[in-house]
């Protein structure tokens, strides 16, 4: 499995591109900016984009998806509880002080925790982790967890935005993510990668060494 990380968009949000070596199917997670880097990597590997998946619907994770969708002719997927955020992309930009001249993706398909996405012969499982937003999710592929803005290196996502809840975030992390194997690598929406074992010890909110 090929994994590429691209900090893109207005605030350097991590976009992740997964390419299955054998089938040449590809999955893109959280495209917050220019898709041309993605296009170049797909062409380099003779791969075809199958899905654009979102960990949640905030503007910095979806800003490049309309252009990518029009080019690649694939739908955008988001949890059903965050569809309203995607549809209100211009209002989000305005609220955060950016120019609201970008339209949301045209075709948005919702999913729930019960859905599974496939890349080659591997499964991408959905873990619903509300707290940062109502529809925040993490995607689990083998021992790779794409955590969006739920879990960061030694930190967690903000809960002071619309629909946020620290109580729900706490439950999502301690009762769901911290139940995963310690050697599960965590690829967050911002900053550096980490792993579950490290966060269980050192996370500044929920780590055993900091409680």
What is the pLDDT at residue 210?
Answer: 67
What is the rounded average pLDDT of the residues 59-70? Answer: 91
What is the pLDDT at residue 162?
Answer: 87
Minimum mean pLDDT range among 34-38, 90-94, 178-182: 90-94
What is the rounded average pLDDT of the residues 38-53? Answer: 95
Yes or no: say if 178 and 199 are a contact pair by the CB < 8 Å rule.
yes
Q: Which residues neighbour 15 within 8 Å (Cβ) at sequence distance 6 or greater?
A: 5, 6, 7, 8, 28, 29, 30, 31, 32, 33, 38, 64
Q: CA-to-CA distance for 50 and 53, rounded, in angstroms?
A: 10
Write out the CATH class of domain 2-148.
alpha beta
What is the pLDDT at residue 100?
Answer: 66
Written in H, E and C, the secondary structure of the chain is: CEEEEEEECCCCEEEEEEECCCCCEEEEECCCCCCHHHHHHHHHCCCEEEEEECCCCCHHHHCCHHHHHHHHCCCEEEEHHHHHHHHCHHHHHHHCCCCCCCCCCCCEEEECCCCEEEECCEEEEEEECCCCCCCCEEEEECCEEEEECCEECCEECCCCCCCCCHHHHHHHHHHCHHHCCCCCEEEECCCCCEEHHHHHHHCCCCCHHHC
Looking at per-residue pLDDT, the higher value among 146 and 162 belongs to 146
What is the rounded average pLDDT of the residues 175-189? Answer: 98
Q: What residue segments make up the domains of the chain, in order of their start?
A: 2-148
pTM of the model: 0.94
pLDDT in tens, 130-139: 999 999 999 9
Per-residue confidence at 197, pLDDT binned at 50, 70, 90? very high
Q: CA-to-CA distance for 67 and 211, rounded, in angstroms?
A: 44
Per-residue confidence at 182, pLDDT binned at 50, 70, 90? very high
What is the pLDDT at residue 211?
Answer: 57
What is the pLDDT at residue 110?
Answer: 98
């Amino acid at each position: 499995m090929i994994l590429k990380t691209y900090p893109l968009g207005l605030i350097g949000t991590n976009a992740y591109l997964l390419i299955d070596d054998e089938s040449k199917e590809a999955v893109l997670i959280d495209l917050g900016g220019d898709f041309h880097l993605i296009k170049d990597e797909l062409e380099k590997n003779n791969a075809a984009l199958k899905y654009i998946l979102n960990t949640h619907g905030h503007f910095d994770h979806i800003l490049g998806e309309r252009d990518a969708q029009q080019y690649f002719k694939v739908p955008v997927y988001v949890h059903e509880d965050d569809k309203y955020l995607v549809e209100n992309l211009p209002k989000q930009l305005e609220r955060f002080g950016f120019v609201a001249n970008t339209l949301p993706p045209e075709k948005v398909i919702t999913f729930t925790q019960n859905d599974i996405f496939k890349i080659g012969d591997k499964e991408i499982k959905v873990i619903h982790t509300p707290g940062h937003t109502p529809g925040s999710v993490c995607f689990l592929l083998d021992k790779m967890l794409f955590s969006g803005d739920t879990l960061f290196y030694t930190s967690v996502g903000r809960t002071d935005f619309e629909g946020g809840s620290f109580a729900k975030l706490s439950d999502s992390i301690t009762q769901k993510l911290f139940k995963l194997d310690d050697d599960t690598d965590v690829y967050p929406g911002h900053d550096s990668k980490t792993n579950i074992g490290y966060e269980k010890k050192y996370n500044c909110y929920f780590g055993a060494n900091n409680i």
